[in-house]
Amino acid sequence: MVNTDDQMVEAERAAALALLRWYIEMGADEAIGEEPVNRFAPPAMAPRSPAASNVNDAASPITPPPVPEATEPGPAGRAVAATPPAAFAQSAGEAAQSARAIAARLDDLAALEAAIANFEGCALKRTATNTVIADGNPAAPVMIIGEAPGADEDRIGRPFVGRAGQLLDRMLAAIGLDRSGVLITNVIYWRPPGNRTPTADEIAACLPFVLRHIALVRPKVLVLAGGTAARALLPPGPGITRLRGRWFDLAIPGLDQPIPTLPMFHPAFLLRAPERKREAWRDLLALRARLDELLPVT
């Protein structure tokens, strides 16, 4: 029989290995000192929030460094209030209007999935093999929204199962999460031919379902993976390079409280630009710290 101590040792070992894999992904493949240097630590005299000190608890298997202030947005580090862009959320396009009317009537996830699968308002459905809706745990505190299914996702029918998805899994593992701790979806449910960027009409036609999905699962935190997800859900403005790492309080129709929302680089972009993984790591730490703040300690 495996006792609790053995299980804890095994969990810590798995977490340490996940962290090591992430360091290697970031290009840190050589040890240059006996002691780790926390380059994200605030100046010695800077006040620390209780939540920030939690994440450095020696008992934590991941022990990420505290989140640098620079990842916090806006004046005094407060999140910026945001609503989904009217150009999509109130689009006058026929498909978008029809999607809004359907989505408004959906009361549970089974009805949402059936409605998306039966929706004929997005022409991408005609060229796709599968409708790709979600993966992970609908009761999880984190909902991740990506762009659109690629070839692997289209073939298998689940989001983020290709190379970008594997990197996403490693990123999540580095902060102690796996697919049971997140719900993953996209702003588009069908693969755009040749993996092109979805058009404004395609985004507008799918967005009512995405918003309803968020309202039904009520995640504690939303992560927008990449520029297309940020463009679909955040007000028009800077691109993902400027937005990433900033917190937004995103108002979702049907919810009385806005959802803390963090745009990050898309893992497919990180595969092409590994030098940007340093920023992604910072954003992951900010996500971990926010979860530690929001989730009751058990």
Q: How far is the CB of 209 from ligand URA (least distance, A)?
A: 15
Residues numbered 247-276 forming contacts with ligand URA, rule: CB under 6 A? 268
- Residue 283 CA: distances (Å) to CA of 44, 116, 197, 263: 22, 31, 24, 9
| Gap between the Cα atoms of 121 and 80, Å rounded | 33
Which residue, 64 or 150, has its beta carbon nearer to ligand URA? 150
Binding mask 71-110 toward ligand URA (x if CB under 6 A, else -) reads: ----------------------------------------
Backbone phi, psi, residue 116, to 5°:
-65, -45
Q: Can residue 210 be called a binding residue for ligand URA (CB under 6 A)?
A: no
Beta bridge partners of 186: 146
Binding mask 128-167 toward ligand URA (x if CB under 6 A, else -) reads: ------------------xxxxx--x-----xx-x-xx--
What are the tokens at 202? 């395609």
Residue, CB closest to ligand URA: 146
Nearest residue to 121 (alpha-carbon basis) of 149, 91, 88, 98: 98
Q: How far is the CB of 99 from ligand URA (least distance, A)?
A: 20
Which residue, 160 or 209, has its beta carbon nearer to ligand URA? 160
Q: How many residues make contact with ligand URA (CB under 6 A)? A: 13
User: Do 240 and 146 meet the contact criterion of CB atoms below 8 Å apart?
Assistant: no
Q: Can residue 122 be called a binding residue for ligand URA (CB under 6 A)?
A: no
Identity (one letter) of the amino acid at 284?
L
| Gap between the Cα atoms of 258 and 272, Å rounded | 33
Binding mask 162-191 toward ligand URA (x if CB under 6 A, else -) reads: x-xx--------------------x-----
| Gap between the Cα atoms of 64 and 142, Å rounded | 18
* Residues in contact with ligand URA by the rule CB under 6 A: 146-150, 153, 159-160, 162, 164-165, 186, 268
